[in-house]
Amino acid sequence: MARVVVIGAGLGGLPAAYELRHRLPHSHQVTLISNQPKFTFVPSLPWIGLGLKSLDRIQLELAKIVPQHGIELIYDAVTAIDPKLKQITLKDQTLDYDYVVIATGPELALDALPGLGPEGGYTQSVCNPHHALLAREAWTKFLQNPGPIVVGAAPGASCFGPAYEFALLAHHTLRQKGQRQDIPITFVTAEPYAGHLGIGGMANSRWLIRAMLADRQIDVMDNTAISHIEPNTMYLADGRSLPFQYAMILPPFRGPRFLREAPGLTDAKGFIPVLPTYRHPNFDSVYSVGVVTQLRPVEPTPIPIGVPKVGQMTEEMVMTVAHNIALDLGVISGQPIKPTLQAICFADFGDTGALFLADPLLPDQQGHRHRAFTTKGIWVSWAKTAFEKYFMDKMRVGWTMPWFERAGLRAIGLPLVEPLSADSSLHISHPIL
């Protein structure tokens, strides 16, 4: 019997536990470790931060949904991992494992800039449930005493979609309240241009996003580095400053401390390097999915930024890892597979929305992709709402990616995984950042 441990119960960890349980006979144990009692559908947190939806709508109690599927649930915090001994240290116990899937999600690098973040700083964030609630509380107070708004992303950030969502949703909300004309909104981003999204080469996204911001009188400051933040004032690296009454700035990400402290496990930022199989290049028992996985920058940028890892990419990683672990254990036969990593992002802007698609996320050596485009329409907002409900139901009942979801993605020309070539498993697919 093998014990497969999944660390983290978010958008990568919970689906990984379900997929592993689906693929592995019950003679093999699947254990899910979470330091949070609830699963949260993170893509909906901008709605929470602006008071447009309640948090309980996008959360599930893990204790009610996980054990009934034959998965051991441990509610505890990991304090250390030893990939050589195949051992995980928790606050209250130590676990041995045969395989571990690291799906922790990120740690927020709020110390990257003085004054960044809601705790000990002067800006808001919508990167986790606690911060989204703090952002909502601050937004409620702001509406009683409004002033300039600054929204954006700090140098080193890798997830830009929520910043655009927040800025455009804030515009829409204020317009509905009849307050927008009195409140200036500025969008500040380390991206080389608005709409880059950490991806680049997104065809019309540069012009579409800039036009949408301009149509809503949202000032754009791209290729701009924030240097530090003080109460009600944001200072930029070029010497300019911006007054604000409310600011939501997405921080850089890094891997959690217990990963960074494990010798040889991560890069300097705490991200897990992987082979095309999403196995660690030096530790055969370690796999990684989601935001904590290392991906190389698509292209150099004047201000360093990271690469986004959206939900669709994470689900591809999950399928890949579960298949390859099942192959290692002799449960299935065939060849290892690797994800093709298409980035699909739905962004709601209130009165419209935008769909971003990059296939694949990482272009080939000539900089080419099969397709890359951005489109807009109110249907995107409806689609995001519908997908949230679908994904929550899927996590509630313990589905892996069902046949109709896989078939639907293939029907629009998005193969989810592909077999490895004979020698591709010998090379690290994503060099250290």
Taking each continuous run of H as one helix and of E as one strand, the counts in the chain are 10, 24
* pLDDT over 90 at 107, yes or no: yes
* pLDDT over 60 at 426, yes or no: no
* pLDDT over 60 at 26, yes or no: yes
Q: Across the chain, what does the average pLDDT equal?
A: 91
The mean pLDDT value for 263-279 works out to 97
| Domain residue ranges of the chain, discontinuous segments joined by + | 110-250
* pLDDT over 50 at 180, yes or no: yes
**Contact yes or no for 187/213 (Cβ under 8 A):** yes
**Catalytic one of 159, 202, 317, 337:** 159
Confidence at residue 229, expressed as pLDDT on a 0 to 100 scale: 98
Instruction: Say how far apart CA 293 and CA 430 lie, in whole Å.
Output: 9
Which of the pair, 424 or 270, is modelled with greater confidence? 270
pLDDT interval class at 430 (50, 70, 90)? very low
* pLDDT over 50 at 427, yes or no: no
Confidence at residue 401, expressed as pLDDT on a 0 to 100 scale: 64
The mean pLDDT value for 185-209 works out to 90
C-alpha dihedral sign at 241, 243, 249, 254: positive
pLDDT interval class at 325 (50, 70, 90)? very high
pLDDT interval class at 203 (50, 70, 90)? low
Confidence at residue 200, expressed as pLDDT on a 0 to 100 scale: 81
Catalytic status, residue 127: no
Which of the pair, 233 or 366, is modelled with greater confidence? 233
The mean pLDDT value for 373-389 works out to 93
Lowest mean pLDDT among 36-40, 170-174, 235-239, 423-427: 423-427
Which of the pair, 410 or 70, is modelled with greater confidence? 70
The mean pLDDT value for 340-344 works out to 84
Residue 193, helix vs strand vs coil = coil
Confidence at residue 423, expressed as pLDDT on a 0 to 100 scale: 38
How wide is the angle at C-alpha 45 spanned by C-alphas 225 and 237, nearest 5°? Answer: 5
CATH of domain 110-250: 3.50.50.60
What is the per-residue pLDDT across 161-176, written as a single tens digit (0 to 9) for each?
Answer: 999 999 999 999 999 9
Confidence at residue 173, expressed as pLDDT on a 0 to 100 scale: 97
- By the 10 Å C-beta count (0-12 exposed, 13-18 middle, 19+ buried), 211 is classed as middle
Residue in 86, 91, 84 with CA at minimum distance from that of residue 34 = 91
For the ranges 190-199, 237-246, 354-363, 411-420, the one whose mean pLDDT is highest: 237-246
Residue in 193, 169, 209 with CA at minimum distance from that of residue 384 = 169
* pLDDT over 80 at 332, yes or no: yes
* pLDDT over 60 at 319, yes or no: yes
* pLDDT over 90 at 73, yes or no: yes
* DSSP string of 365-393, one letter each residue: TTS--SEEEEEE-HHHHHHHHHHHHHHHH
Which of the pair, 338 or 238, is modelled with greater confidence? 238
Catalytic status, residue 345: yes
pLDDT interval class at 422 (50, 70, 90)? very low
pLDDT interval class at 344 (50, 70, 90)? confident
Confidence at residue 343, expressed as pLDDT on a 0 to 100 scale: 83
**Catalytic one of 345, 347, 361, 372:** 345
